[in-house]
Amino acid sequence: MKPEVVTLKVGEATIKMPASTVAGLVLASVVSHIAPSAQVAANGIASYIPEAGSYWPGQGGINGGLVPARADVPAHYLIFANEDVGEHEYGRRGEESKATSKADGMSNSTILLSEGGHPAASAASGYSADGHNDFYLPAATELYQGWVNCPQIFAQDCYYWSSSQRSADSAFNMHFGGGLQGSYAKYHELRARPVRRFFI
C-alpha cells in the first residue's frame, strides 16, 4: 500500500510529500508557536524541554540547564535530584585522590567509588528516580551551574559537597544562599545532592 501523498502548489512550483510528513511539519509549527520552550526534533516531532529549575518528567529530577560538549563528553542537560541524600563526610582525609576534575563529576565519582571510603559520593551514586540509577556527586562547576540556573532547589543555609578534591585534606563545596564556593576538611558532614546527565 502506497503512502498517501499531498501535493502543494505555490505559483509555478509543485511539491509532493507524504501526508505523514506534512502532518509532522504542521504539528511542529503549531507547537513552536504555542510552546516556545519546545524543541523540534529532526523527525518533526516536538520534544518538551522544561525551563531550568523545573521538574523534567521521566528524567529523575530537575532541569539544571544545558552543558556544552567538552573534551570527550557530549552536550547534555544536568538533571538534579529532587532531594538531598543527607549529610555525609567527603571521606579519607589526609589521602590524595585522583578525583580532581572541576567539571566532570561522573568521572570523579567513579574514582571515589573505586577508592572506597567516600560517603557523600556513595550516597549520591546510590540514588535512583524514574528508573534512572546513573546519579553521581556533582563536580564543582556542576554545582555552580545549579546555583546559576536553579538555586531555589537547594537549601540556602548550608554547604554542599562537590566531588572535586582540592587537596589531601579538603574538597570543594558550594553554599547556595550566596553562591559562595570554597573548601572544607574532608571529615565535615555536608549536604549531598545527586545529579545525572541527559544526553541530547
Q: How far is CA 26 from CA 17, 23, 188, in A?
A: 13, 5, 56
Q: 43 or 7: whose pLDDT is higher?
A: 7
Both 89 and 162 in one domain: the answer is yes
Both 21 and 90 in one domain: the answer is no
pLDDT at 1 (0 to 100): 54
Both 33 and 123 in one domain: the answer is no
Q: Which of 22-36, 41-55, 101-115 has the highest mean pLDDT?
A: 101-115
Rg (CA), the chain: 22
Q: How many domains does the chain have?
A: 2
Burial call 125-151: b when 16+ CB within 10 Å, e when fewer: bebebeebeebbbbbbbbbbbbbebbe
Instruction: Tell me the per-residue pLDDT of 70-79, one tens digit each, with 9 for 90 and over.
Output: 988 999 999 9
Both 27 and 74 in one domain: the answer is no
Both 35 and 96 in one domain: the answer is no
Both 42 and 63 in one domain: the answer is no
Both 66 and 91 in one domain: the answer is yes
Q: Which amino acid is at 27?
A: L
Both 99 and 168 in one domain: the answer is yes
Cell 570543594 appears where? 172
Contact 92, 118 (CB under 8 A): yes
Strand partners, 28: none
Instruction: Tell me the per-residue pLDDT of 9-29, one tens digit each, with 9 for 90 and over.
Output: 656 655 555 665 545 444 444
Both 126 and 79 in one domain: the answer is yes
Both 23 and 44 in one domain: the answer is yes
The count of C-alpha atoms lying within 13 angstroms of the C-alpha of 15, restricted to the half-sphere facing its C-beta, is 8
Instruction: Tell me the per-residue pLDDT of 116-169, one tens digit each, with 9 for 90 and over.
Output: 999 999 999 999 999 999 999 999 999 999 999 999 999 999 999 999 999 999
- Work out the mean pLDDT of the chain and round it to a whole number: 86
The number of beta carbons lying within 10 Å of the beta carbon of residue 61 is 24
Both 33 and 94 in one domain: the answer is no
Q: How do beta strands 61-67 and 55-56 pair?
A: antiparallel
Instruction: Tell me the per-residue pLDDT of 184-196, one tens digit each, with 9 for 90 and over.
Output: 999 999 999 999 9
φ, ψ for residue 77, nearest 5 deg: -100, 145
Both 73 and 126 in one domain: the answer is yes
Domain that holds residue 137: 55-199
Query: Residue 60: pLDDT above 70?
Result: yes
End-to-end CA distance of the chain: 35
φ, ψ for residue 56, nearest 5 deg: -110, 105
